[in-house]
Amino acid sequence: MTTQTPSIEDLSTHPVVSRDEWLEARKALLKKEKEFTRQKDRLFAECRTLPWVKVEKNYVFDTATGKQTLADLFGDKSQLIVTHFMLGPEWEQGCIGCSFGADHYDGIVIHLEHHDVAFVVVSRAPLPKIDAFKQRMGWRFKWVSSYGNDFNYDYHVSFTGDAIAQGKVYYNYEVRPIDIDELAGTSMFYRDAAGDIFHTYSAYARGSELVGGAYGYLDHLPKGRNETGPGHNLGDWVRHHDRYGN
């Protein structure tokens, strides 16, 4: 794995060169970075040219303003982003990794809303549980409950006890053993002028990693992601922003 963290010894013997020599190495890398950026553009274009699936089911969510359908969640926008936030009906609090992502939403949503995009967070916990946790975290974005509807199951971020017991959980487009009832993802929807709704895209696992930016920073730092704990992922270090203590 190339996300590996260099040891502190590596850092103490890291090559140090003149500005000119650095510039030469930096410019060589810049070429690769530009190629990577263009590759990203092409890949995202492919994501957007996937065909769509018409949403036929009438999902109804519990929201701060009462019952709302999936169509209502668009507000006056034609594009809807749904973040699947891991907070199950029986959970005490929202998932730490999802909370880390959510710390960024308030800064992003206002800009998206001015570019024909509605942004909604959805969890399966009942609304009062969501509201209490949202208040604790100090977030303002729209967060609705899919408790009682099939939304989380249809978009493969909640799993039945049977599927978990059989070790056959469908997540990120494959069946695998997973020992948790909720997982994370991001789904995109489009509403046309006639009011029809289409599912256009969903990403799970590391597919949602671009969101937020913290990994973008860490990837550029000498120590990288530095995830050396048991999970080798952000679970090794991320806490709720009110729980870091010191």
Partner 1 sequence: MSTSNVESPRVVSRGEWLEQRKALLAKEKEFTRLGDRLAAEKRNLPWVRVDKNYVFDGPEGKETLAQLFGDKSQLLVYHFMFGPDWEEGCPICSMVGDNIDPNVIHLAQRDVNLVVVARAPLAKINDFKKRMGWRFKWVSSFANDFNHDYSVSFETEEMKGKFYNFGTGGFPGEEAPGLSVFYKDSAGNVFHTYSSYARGPEFLVGAYNYLDLVPKGRDEAGLPFTLAWIRHHDRYEE
Q: Restricting to residues 140-199, name those near partner 1 by CB under 8 A.
A: 172-173, 186, 188, 190, 192, 198-199
Question: How many degrees, rounded to 5, is the angle at CA 152 between CA 149 and CA 156?
Answer: 140
Q: How far is the CB of 232 from partner 1 (least distance, A)?
A: 13
Contact between 22 and partner 1 by CB under 8 A: the answer reads: yes
Does 245 bind partner 1 (CB under 8 A)? Our answer is no
Beta-carbon-side half-sphere exposure of residue 239 (alpha carbons within 13 Å): 6
The stretch among 65-73, 87-95, 177-185, 231-239 that binds partner 1 (CB under 8 A) is 231-239
Among 1, 92, 162, 230, binds partner 1 (CB under 8 A): 1
Nearest approach, Cβ of 229 to partner 1 (angstroms)?
12
Residue with smaller CB distance to partner 1, 19 or 179: 19
Q: 128 or 138, CB closer to partner 1?
A: 138
Which residue among 223, 228, 229, 231 contacts partner 1 (CB under 8 A)? 223
Q: Which is nearer to partner 1, 85 or 147 (CB)?
A: 85
Cα–Cα distance for residue pair 145/64, rounded to 1 Å: 10
Contacts of residue 35, Cβ cutoff 8 Å, sequence gap at least 6: none
Q: Is 76 in the site for partner 1 (CB under 8 A)?
A: no
C-alpha of 117 from chain center? 16
CA distance 48 to 203: 13
Show the tokens assigned to 194.
Answer: 């006639």
Residue 54 sits in the site that holds partner 1 (CB under 8 A)? yes
For 84, 120, 139, 219, the CA distances from 107, given in Å and listed in that order, are 18, 14, 10, 21
Instruction: Tell me whether residue 177 or residue 213 sits nearer to partner 1 (CB atom).
Output: 213
**Cα–Cα distance between 3 and 228 in angstroms, integer?**
11
Indicate whether 39 belongs to the interface with partner 1 (CB under 8 A).
yes
Give the residue among 35, 85, 67 at the shortest CA–CA distance from 148. 67
Q: Are 47 and 173 in contact (CB under 8 A)?
A: no
Decide if residue 117 touches partner 1 (CB under 8 A): yes
